[in-house]
Amino acid sequence: MDQNGKKENGERRTSFDYEAIAASSKFRKLISSKKKLIIPMTILFLAFYFALPVLTSYTKILNKPAIGDITWAWLFATAQFIMTWILCTVYVKKAATFDHLAEEVLAENTEKGEQAK
């Protein structure tokens, strides 16, 4: 790194005011939107995940045949794999929005930092 804060590969090292970032409305919007997605998805995942062992251990509901000799327990277990892929896909698609908001927050803070110099 040279005296001007540039790395050897030409990138410029930027320092951020993390308190200003945390206080910005865009950052709060980012955190809020992530919470609105992640918390319900986590609750759904955990409820669906723990339902299988609870229902198979304490009830006989899933022991009934659904399709031929295949019971509801096997369908429920397969549905857990499907649910995991769906939740992963939804999050990956929404992560692009989160990344865009994060870039806006950093760009806004970088501009303010450069103007202050």
Q: 104 in a domain, yes or no?
A: yes
> What is the DSSP secondary-structure string of 41-71?
HHHHHHHHHHHHHHHHHH-SGGGSEEETTEE
Q: 3 in a domain, yes or no?
A: no
Would you state the pLDDT for residue 107? Answer: 85
Q: 103 in a domain, yes or no?
A: yes
Q: 5 in a domain, yes or no?
A: no
Q: 50 in a domain, yes or no?
A: yes
Structural domain for 25, as ranges: 18-116
Asked whether residue 5 carries a pLDDT value surpassing 60, the answer given is no
Would you state the pLDDT for residue 18? Answer: 82
Q: 23 in a domain, yes or no?
A: yes
The number of distinct structural domains making up the chain is 1
What is the arithmetic mean of pLDDT over 77-87? 96
Residue that wins the pLDDT comparison between 116 and 51: 51
